[in-house]
Structure 1
Amino acid sequence: MSRPQIALVVHALILIGALAFIVPALTRALGSPTGYLLSLLTYWLGFCLPVIALHVRGRRGPHLFSERLAWQDWFVPGLLLLQLGVVGMVAVTPHTSMLTTNGAMLAALIGVINGPLEETAWRGGFMTRFADRPRLGFWLGWVLFTLWHAPLALSHGIVFEGGWMALVGGAAALGLLWNWIAWRTGSVFWTSIAHTLTNVMAFWVLFDGNGFV
């Protein structure tokens, strides 16, 4: 691997290791809602924004954020719509009785920030740095994206629906789908939309289920 490729991978590994200590410490010291949200802020400031600045910005053309699809890729919006429907049925429908408007508003705020940042950093970062070794970049990006969710399971006082296996397994399944689409199309436009809406639904259940609002 080249130095920039190694730097990106090491950055991701440092992030995962650091969050394994930061997430439980913050959620224990500040309470689960504040600590969890500050953990996400730490992740955005410590990983997503630096990766975008160092590995994506100025190194990819406008196609990285293009909505245009080749004719053979016009199944992508339908596939992502199906994915969103499955997430809604599995994650949201069983919990509609507890969901609140305030929870939806907070989830929308966090989701709108997190979705595009993650897609640009993870998919965009690895697509950019591993353009010469796409298979390696694809699988490394997917594995590390999946692993970064593991420290979230260490949150003190937060219950994740389905436990840590559902949290990490869901990230693995969705990350694999989004990776495949992003690498196939060369763009994070469609995956950013799907990621954002998925986050809104997942965060809505998480926030209302754990008394964030």
Structure 2
Amino acid sequence: MTIIPVAVPSTMAAVFTALARRMPERTAYNVGFAVYWIAWCLAAPMWLLGARHAVRLLTAGRRLPRDHLLLLALPAAGAVVTQLIPHRREIDTATALVMVGSATINAAGEELLWRGVFMRELEDRPRMAQTLSLIGFSIWHFAPQLVLPSALGRGRFVAGSAVVGSAMTAAAWKAGGLRQVVIAHAIVDACGVTAARFRLGRVPNS
């Protein structure tokens, strides 16, 4: 279990690097995420948790108190203000579909991998589980930037991911399930207009 926060970022950095050397950047980005979603976000949780338990985690969760709901709302509001609104005129039907589709897949998969697995496998050591979860989730966000660097800079993007991850981690453990966290995570990811347009080949890697 403790190897996941190291294994995922390192293997995915190698995958994105290798793909970028062999195919166009857009293809490398899309294939790299497909590998991440299938191998790490789907196969690993299914193997470690079992399909029934994974589905139960995704659909369960106690009602959150107001302070934790605010924690979830702040990253979503930040994504809307900094990403969605400034790029709203770039959104057409295809871009919107990619935004929503990729956000749904990514949010569900990442919450299973980075929160669900650690919640159950280290259930008796919550502090260790939360720490490892947050470290792995944050550092992983460096890997896809090897193909599509953030306009904020790689370091600032990873730091921002850590802030978002902190809110998601606190809320998931408080709720004892992922239902509300997946929704908040999907809203944040769905604001990624630039990434969606890059997936469609409509913006250059610059």
- 1:65 pairs with 2:54: no
Matching of residues 1-213 of structure 1 within 5 Å = 8-57=1-50, 62=56, 65-69=59-63, 73-155=65-147, 158-202=148-192, 204-208=193-197, 212-213=201-202
Distance in 1 (alpha carbons) for counterparts of 2:3 and 2:133: 12
Within 2, Cα distance between the matches of 1:10 and 1:62? 25
Q: Which is worse superposed, 32-41 or 161-170?
A: 161-170
State the 1:106 CA deviation: 1.2
Distance between the aligned counterparts of 1:177 and 1:201, measured in 2?
Answer: 17
Change beyond 3 A, Cα 1:60–1:90: closer
TM-score, normalising length: structure 2: 0.86
One-letter code aligned to 2:22: A
Q: Is the 8 A contact 1:15 1:46 kept in 2?
A: no
> Helix, strand or coil for the counterpart of 1:187?
coil
Q: How many aligned positions are there?
A: 201
Amino acid at match of 2:59: F
1:49 partner amino acid:
L
Structure 2 residue ranges without an equivalent (≥5): none
Write the letter of the residue equivalent to 1:24: T
CA contact (8 A) 1:12 1:47 kept: no
Cα distance, 1:82 vs. partner?
Answer: 3.7
| Separation in structure 1 between the aligned mates of residue 71 and residue 104 of structure 2, nearest angstrom | 21
| 136-145 vs 94-103, greater mean Cα deviation | 94-103
Shift of 1:114: 0.9
Aligned-pair CA distance for 1:47: 1.1
Stretches of structure 1 that go unaligned for 5 or more consecutive residues are 1-7
What TM-score comes out, normalization by structure 1 length? 0.83
| Matched letter for residue 189 of structure 2 | N
Give the letter for the 1:186 counterpart: G
User: CA shift at 1:53, angstroms?
Assistant: 1.3
